[in-house]
Amino acid sequence: MNRVRITLIILLAILLNAGLSHAASPKPAVAHHAMVVSSEPIAAEIGVQVLRNGGNAIDAAIAVCATLNVTEGYSSGMGGGCFIMLYRAETGEILAIDGRERAPLKARRDMYVDKKSKSVLPGLSTEGVTAVATPGLPAALDIIHKNWGTLPWNELFKPAVALADTGFNISRTYAERLLYSKDRLIQYPSTKELFFPPNDTLPYTFGHKLVQKDLARFLDSLAAVGAGWFYSSDFTEDLLKFVNKNNGYLTEKDFEEYRPVIRSPIHGRFRDYDIYSMPPPSSGGIHVVQILEILEPFNLRYWGAGSSETIHLLVEAMKRAFADRAYYLGDPDFVTVPVEGLLDTLYLEGLRAGMVPYKASDIQGPGTLPGYESTETTHFSIIDSAGNMVAFSASLNTSFGSAVIMPGYGLFLNNHMDDFSLQPGTPNYYGLVGSEANAIHPGKRPLSSMSPTLVLKDGKPAGIFGSPGGPRIITAVVQTILNTVEFGMDIQQAVDFPRVHHQWKPDVVFVEPDISFDTIKGLISKGHDVFRSYEWASAQCIWIEPETGLITGGTDSRTEGNAPGY
């Protein structure tokens, strides 16, 4: 991208954004016993009430997740998937629950590629039922409840059922998502009926009471019968009829064979802290740890948070991680993901050695591993009074997923097929490129950036981190951890601090509006192309103060979250 053009864009953005910078962050929320942090206030309050009523962090997570299906339906729902990180205080055990969607068994490697032009057919992987992968969220909730929940399954769904039945007032964020997605949503009759006034082309806006009777009945049935009802019942038959009528790919066997997977977490170290995060098919855990460990030898505190020197090193680490992501990462049930190699000390030293101080590097591809052959989301964090921790990231992919609501059930369906490499080297919705490791295959889970992360110190809980934001999830989590561990910010300051992002392709440093002009000039002088972008991600994090043991919560000021506790 032309350097002069970039600079002009920056100057214009500065003028347009003058006066829009954040005020100083408020104090973090504080609690003695337990806390829920979510970008959606109603869901957070319901989660805390479950904890007050004797439930544990798992129970609260299920209740929050069910509520978000109603109040934050643009980000997550039972028609999508999730990744969950759990810390069990009683045993010290840390588990990663993979509730990621799977490609239909009828999927083909080139299902979205035009046979003549060999180019990707627009829209098929992002809109309508052709974009839908087999949902995994209900099965993931079921497995954590059966193994570690304490309250009855149906009790945890009652608040969500009531909210869907009686309605809630659309928030500012919900209204913004509706307006942004209106051209997609209006195409589908069941979606249009829910979100648009009769004979109007603009959706309902802030303050409108959104009543979802069909969704209430769906959630009530799921609560009464259990998650098995989602995968084998009259509901499943109705869903398959709807999908097949509209040229989708799901079959009865896809639902019969779906199983969540309990995996071993990714583990790394930064300063004196242990970092545990999600393994493949999430790329998040590997690259959160990669970036932090590449930065470990540098005295970032000397240069300070937000300086061009610190951001330069951070960006150089991001480039290398995302180049590796594009080449090596995929579903470990289908490809060999070299986890140990990517996190090997000598390998990371080699990546670090190529980082030139004060000069941007041109990364042509991934690092060389000896012996190796070859997205809209929500996140919430919970800690209960016993010290159990949950980092929960769920997604439909883009806003409102496929934009399709299943008639009669009020359920949004995902568009996670777009997270595969539709054609190697061709960017997806988020501009990410991939290789054969993430190519479409029947029953395969697509690569994800969701990065629910747990931090421990001396074997004790220290923090819970996560965010929505597509590929920017990874860099948001890294920067929030750096802000607390390296720069000593409280958790609210850490989630609010302006962010940067680099994902290798395109070779551009994206910066939020509050990054100073002096910093941007410093990055340009080092050879970086810089683009001043909108604010992104919505980190929802918990930090346990080491001196006092107080639980502190940070809910990102970029959205309308809440961090209640007691």
φ and ψ of 443, to 5 deg: 80, 5
Residues 6 or more apart whose Cβ sits within 8 Å of residue 196: 185, 186, 202, 203, 204
Q: Which one of the listed residues 130, 134, 173, 377 is annotated catalytic? A: 377
Let me know how many helices (H) and strands (E) the chain has, helices first: 20, 20
Q: Is 126 an annotated catalytic residue?
A: no
Nearest to 437 by CA among 117, 175, 109: 109
Helix (H, G, I), strand (E, B) or coil at 392: strand
φ and ψ of 361, to 5 deg: -100, 155
Q: What is the CA radius of gyration of the chain?
A: 22
Query: Helices in 149-247 by DSSP H: which ranges?
Result: 153-166, 172-180, 182-185, 189-195, 213-225, 228-231, 234-245
Question: What is the identity of the amino acid at 55?
Answer: G
CB 10 within 8 Å of CB 513: no
CB 287 within 8 Å of CB 163: no
Query: Which contiguous run of DSSP H or E holds residue 552?
Result: strand 551-555
Helix (H, G, I), strand (E, B) or coil at 391: strand
DSSP symbols for 405-422 = EETTTTEE---GGGGSBS
Written as six digits, the tokens of 539 are: 């980190």
Nearest to 279 by CA among 297, 294, 257, 262: 262
d(CA 54, CA 448): 34
Residue bearing tokens 């490791």: 437
Question: What is the identity of the amino acid at 382?
Answer: I
DSSP tag of 242: H
Helix (H, G, I), strand (E, B) or coil at 411: strand
CB 288 within 8 Å of CB 477: yes
CB 180 within 8 Å of CB 399: yes
Measured CA to CA in angstroms, residue 403 lies from 74, 187, 417, 534 at distances of 9, 8, 14, 23
Question: What is the identity of the amino acid at 65?
Answer: C
* DSSP β-bridge partners for residue 83: 98, 393
Give the residue numbers marked as catalytic. 377
